[in-house]
């Protein structure tokens, strides 16, 4: 169905300030933008902005494990390795396809209600993720998480690509887990497969402080040499999640590559991993997106919240209020994330671009004083995802006025609760 946004302000990462006018959404795309659109086709839903509502591009969650919402709250306040080995992996071992499906359905509701219209997901049973995404209408760039050297899993990842990539709102990447769970030889095979089929790769890199020494001691390589040697810089696109311990001296090597660093400030803070040199990445010309990581290590899937934390955190740690501007984090959460997910016509409000939009209520006390020039500052520092009136993906409302159209909320919540209980029961039996 077509939607006309009448008299809205709108902003994106390439605009100096907010513009005001009408937007017509048809066929999943922004078809027309104008000061006062006339000759509107019949049967159009008209949404009034009255100069008090803002449209922004939908946020892209650049790194997550959506179905981990089922593991939220398990194993708080532990270091990464113990958290994974003692609390997460034993429970994950009991995950069945229906858990992944319903967990992802829950994550989609949570993300839609906080303005995310696209998520870069790495997990397993990804056909279930694809089904959850296709049924709800959210956009997804997914990868099957690969650990160990089993070529069968790589084949599954490649088959997933052929089955789902380009279908509806779905893109597929290959998902080797991390340097400490996949050997360089296996990684080389994965990146060669990715290059061959034209897929991107999603990889955890240098999240924990011990990782650079691990790579040096075991393989005799620096982080950049490791990326080059394993072919991660030779794939069409690579999402490198975290990069907390990426050496400053090697950042120039990453500039201009097809890699995007998915910065996950909340998860890095919560797991005590440290803070990524995000400002140095930006200044060095490295593409940067924002991710929440899974709900077990955040514990929110709120990309808007990540923008605020990111902008504040880097000012604090550098003792420099001029770094990591509101505009920087807004770009990371929209356009840069969209590119990392494999969409080149997503993340800006442009005619012909995909209609993934967040509708924000500016008629609230904390927006008093906003203007077209300072609106991005207000969004990042004063606003929050509770200001969202609606979230649209490819022209379809995922969330509107506190509800999820086309979703049976109570039934979905019941299934998610049942899956969580079932999963914990299985873990106790282990
Ligand atoms: Zn992760």
Q: Is residue 356 classed as helix, strand or coil in its secondary structure?
A: coil
Neighbour tally for 157: CB within 10 Å: 24
Q: Which residues of 23-35 are buried (b: 16+ CB within 10 A; e: fewer)?
A: bbbbebbbbbbee
User: What would the DSSP string read from start to end of 6-28?
Assistant: EEEEE--TT-SS-EEEEEEEETT
How deeply is 365 buried, as exposed, middle or buried, from its count of CB atoms within 10 A (0-12, 13-18, 19+)? exposed
Q: If you measure from the C-alpha of residue 115 to the centroid of ligand 1, how many angstroms do you get, rounded to a whole number?
A: 20
Q: If you measure from the C-alpha of residue 205 to the centroid of ligand 1, how many angstroms do you get, rounded to a whole number?
A: 9
Q: If you measure from the C-alpha of residue 177 to the centroid of ligand 1, how many angstroms do you get, rounded to a whole number?
A: 8
Cα–Cα nearest to 147, from 183, 111, 121: 183
**Percent of the chain that is helix, strand, coil (3-state, to 5):** 40, 25, 35
Q: Report pLDDT for 225.
A: 98
Q: If you measure from the C-alpha of residue 81 to the centroid of ligand 1, how many angstroms do you get, rounded to a whole number?
A: 13
Cα–Cα nearest to 118, from 164, 60, 202, 55: 60
Q: If you measure from the C-alpha of residue 63 to the centroid of ligand 1, how many angstroms do you get, rounded to a whole number?
A: 6
Long-range (24+ apart) CB contacts under 8 A made by 419-425 are 419/70, 419/98, 419/99, 419/102, 419/103, 420/70, 422/99, 423/70, 423/71, 423/91, 423/94, 423/95, 423/99, 424/91
Interval 157-201: pLDDT, tens: 999 999 999 999 999 999 999 999 999 999 999 999 999 999 999
Length reported for the chain: 430
**Which are the contacts of 2, defined by CB distance < 8 A and separation ≥ 6?**
24, 25, 26, 27, 31, 41, 43, 44, 45, 395
Separation between Cα atoms, residue 124 and residue 175, nearest integer Å = 10
How deeply is 16 buried, as exposed, middle or buried, from its count of CB atoms within 10 A (0-12, 13-18, 19+)? exposed
Q: If you measure from the C-alpha of residue 19 to the centroid of ligand 1, how many angstroms do you get, rounded to a whole number?
A: 36
Q: Report pLDDT for 289.
A: 98
Q: If you measure from the C-alpha of residue 286 to the centroid of ligand 1, how many angstroms do you get, rounded to a whole number?
A: 20
How deeply is 152 buried, as exposed, middle or buried, from its count of CB atoms within 10 A (0-12, 13-18, 19+)? exposed
Q: What are residue 356's phi and psi, to 5 degrees?
A: -105, 110
Cα–Cα nearest to 11, from 409, 380, 406: 380
- Cα 125-303-323 angle, rounded to 5 deg: 135
Q: Report pLDDT for 79.
A: 82
Which residues does the chain have with pLDDT short of 50?
none
């Amino acid at each position: 169905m077509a939607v006309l946004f009448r008299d809205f302000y709108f902003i994106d990462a390439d605009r100096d300030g907010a513009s005001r006018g009408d937007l017509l959404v048809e066929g999943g795309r922004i078809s027309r933008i104008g000061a006062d659109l006339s000759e509107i086709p019949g049967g159009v839903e008209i949404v009034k902005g009255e100069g008090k509502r803002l449209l922004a591009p939908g946020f892209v969650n650049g790194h997550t494990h959506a179905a981990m919402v089922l593991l939220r709250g398990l194993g708080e306040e532990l270091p990464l390795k113990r958290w994974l080995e003692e609390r997460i992996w034993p429970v994950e071992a009991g995950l069945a396809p229906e858990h992944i499906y319903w967990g992802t359905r829950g994550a989609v509701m949570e993300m839609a209600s906080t303005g995310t219209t696209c998520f870069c997901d790495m997990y397993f049973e990804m056909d279930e993720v694809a089904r959850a995404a296709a049924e709800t209408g959210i956009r997804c760039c997914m990868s099957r998480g690969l650990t160990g050297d089993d070529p069968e899993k790589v084949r599954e990842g490649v088959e997933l690509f052929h089955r789902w990539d380009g279908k509806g709102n779905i893109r597929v990447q290959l998902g080797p887990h991390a340097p400490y769970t996949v050997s360089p030889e296996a990684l080389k095979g994965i990146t060669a497969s990715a290059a061959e089929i034209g897929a991107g790769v999603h990889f955890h890199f240098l999240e924990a402080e011990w990782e650079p020494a691990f790579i040096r001691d075991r393989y005799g390589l620096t982080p950049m040499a490791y990326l080059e040697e394993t072919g991660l810089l030779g794939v069409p696109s690579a999402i490198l999640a975290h990069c907390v311990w990426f050496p400053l001296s090697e950042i120039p090597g990453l500039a201009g590559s097809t890699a995007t660093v998915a910065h996950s400030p909340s998860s890095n803070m919560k797991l005590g991993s440290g803070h990524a040199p995000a400002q140095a990445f930006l200044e060095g010309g490295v593409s940067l997106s924002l991710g929440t990581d899974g709900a077990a290590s955040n514990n929110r899937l709120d990309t808007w919240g990540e923008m605020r934390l990111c902008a504040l955190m880097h000012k604090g740690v550098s003792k420099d209020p001029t770094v990591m501007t509101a505009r920087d984090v807004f770009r990371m959460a929209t356009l840069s994330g969209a590119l990392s997910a494999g969409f080149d016509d997503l993340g800006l409000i442009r005619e012909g671009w995909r209609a993934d939009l967040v509708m924000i209520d500016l008629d609230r006390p904390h927006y008093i004083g906003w203007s077209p020039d300072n609106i991005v500052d207000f969004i990042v520092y004063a606003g929050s995802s509770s200001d969202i009136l609606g979230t649209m993906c490819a022209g379809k409302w995922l969330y509107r006025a506190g509800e999820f159209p086309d979703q049976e909320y109570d039934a979905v919540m019941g299934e998610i609760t049942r899956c969580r209980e079932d999963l914990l029961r299985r873990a106790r039996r282990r």
